[in-house]
Structure 1
Amino acid sequence: MFKIKIPVVGPVRAGKTAISNFLADAGDSIGTEYIPTIGCRILEMEQETKISNRKEKFEIELWDCSGDLKYESCWTALSHDANGVVFAFNPYEANHSKELNQWFTHFVQNSGIREECCLIIENRYETETGTPNAGKLGNLFDGIKKIKSNMENESEKFRDEFNNFIQSVAAFSKSKQDQEEKMILR
């Protein structure tokens, strides 16, 4: 079985744990009290998808990474061998869009992950009021697909969009692995 590693990164209070728990069916944390992640949690799930007219089964590791910058020294280990990255931010938090630039620099530019294997999740809750501060991310994110998360009201749509992302990461990763194996056999 092919393994895919996806770090879920972003600032503190971006909803990374709620997103990861929801996607991995690891419990319901929507609307519960905020508890910061210490370091990183790894959640595993499986998905079957069609790649090159063949059904492939993948084990997906979602690495729910703390948004606390005191863990920045661990980012190299968290990004090592990642196949893609999910960026999460809350548009109602003033500094989130600016903080994402730091995460992008390390997890994409410094790690060599292609933009096609990245996803931005604008995470918002129904209880939030006011005008979102963000929505306008820096130009570093221009080539990355962005989806809005509303797990409370549109959970299946959100899950479908994420599954499409995983399918494209899986196809790219499998193709890359096949090419590497062919090079070894030559």
Structure 2
Amino acid sequence: MHSKVKIVIVGPPECGKTMLANFLSEAAEIGSGEYRPTKGCRIIEFEIPNVSVKGMTTKAEVELWDVSGDRSYENCWPAIQKGLNGVIFVYNPGRDEHAQALDSLHSHFAEQQGVRETQCIVFCHHKPGTRGKGAKLGSAFNPIPKIDTHIEEDGGGVRRDFSNFIGSVLSHMSAVAERQENFILQ
């Protein structure tokens, strides 16, 4: 079994999306600490060698779309949303305005696209040297798993949580394909 998945990573400006995307993809440039906003969208392609999907291990090809948090790029969202399989919501839990921004992003990238909770995850991203109390997310996020990401303290755990998320998305995609095949056969 070999699977390809398109994941978008969204959140407000300066919440750590690019840092997380670089870390998860094992990109060379993890960052200098200097903030450089993403212009529109950046696509990173990489493989995860061992993802568990319905009790089987597979290799997943991941297209990770790192979407700018700057709302001036909102006109690009329809093109970015096309064919997405999962959404990673990122925010800094120490900033209330970040939690508020996620509500709008959830509406655009999950609700309007018909993306289910099993295809979403929230990374409560703690930038190095910061601590947050946990800004309250809207009720739309209640059924979505929330993961505290402390890359410098538990990078392996963050990668494991990401791999489990990819497995969940691939399981959902497999179930949808099975239902479509069964419908055609009837």
- TM-score of the aligned structures, taking structure 1 as reference length: 0.90
Offset at residue 58 of structure 1 (A): 2.1
8 Å Cα contact 1:30-1:152 kept in structure 2: no
Residues 31-65 of structure 1, C-alpha deviation per residue, up to 9 Å, x if partnerless? 62110000111111212334344443321111000
Query: Cα distance 1:120–1:53, how it changes in 2: closer, same or farther (>3 A)?
Result: closer
Note if 1:179 corresponds to 2:179.
Answer: yes
| 1:147 equivalent in structure 2 | 147
Of 21-30 and 53-62, deviating more is 53-62
Query: Cα distance 1:24–1:95, how it changes in 2: closer, same or farther (>3 A)?
Result: same
Aligned residues: 184
Query: Structure 2: which 5+ runs fail to align?
Result: none
* Candidates 74, 84, 87, aligned match of 1:85: 87
Note if 1:99 corresponds to 2:114.
Answer: no
Query: Please, what is the CA RMSD of the aligned residues?
Result: 1.8
How many angstroms apart in 2 are the aligned matches of 1:53 and 1:152?
Answer: 31
8 Å Cα contact 1:11-1:96 kept in structure 2: yes
8 Å Cα contact 1:11-1:99 kept in structure 2: yes
How many angstroms apart in 1 are the aligned matches of 2:179 and 2:60?
Answer: 18
How many angstroms apart in 1 are the aligned matches of 2:43 and 2:104?
Answer: 22
What is the SS of the residue equivalent to 1:152? Answer: helix
Residues 112-149 of structure 1, C-alpha deviation per residue, up to 9 Å, x if partnerless? 000111000011123226xx364311111101000011
How many angstroms apart in 1 are the aligned matches of 2:177 and 2:72?
Answer: 34
**Runs of 4+ more than 6 Å apart:** none
What is the SS of the residue equivalent to 2:35? Answer: coil
How many angstroms apart in 2 are the aligned matches of 1:13 and 1:57?
Answer: 31
Residues 54-85 of structure 1, C-alpha deviation per residue, up to 9 Å, x if partnerless? 44332111100000000111112211111110
How many angstroms apart in 2 are the aligned matches of 1:67 and 1:151?
Answer: 21
8 Å Cα contact 2:51-2:164 kept in structure 1: no
How many angstroms apart in 1 are the aligned matches of 2:34 and 2:64?
Answer: 22
1:143 maps to a residue whose letter is: P
How many angstroms apart in 2 are the aligned matches of 1:152 and 1:103?
Answer: 27
How many angstroms apart in 2 are the aligned matches of 1:73 and 1:184?
Answer: 36
Offset at residue 185 of structure 1 (A): 5.2
1:13-28 to 2 correspondence within 5 Å?
Answer: 13-28=14-29
Offset at residue 181 of structure 1 (A): 3.7
| 2:167 equivalent in structure 1 | 167
Offset at residue 100 of structure 1 (A): 0.5
8 Å Cα contact 1:16-1:64 kept in structure 2: yes
How many angstroms apart in 2 are the aligned matches of 1:31 and 1:140?
Answer: 34
How many angstroms apart in 1 are the aligned matches of 2:148 and 2:57?
Answer: 29
How many angstroms apart in 2 are the aligned matches of 1:173 and 1:56?
Answer: 14
| 1:8 equivalent in structure 2 | 9
What is the SS of the residue equivalent to 2:84? Answer: coil
Identical columns (%): 38
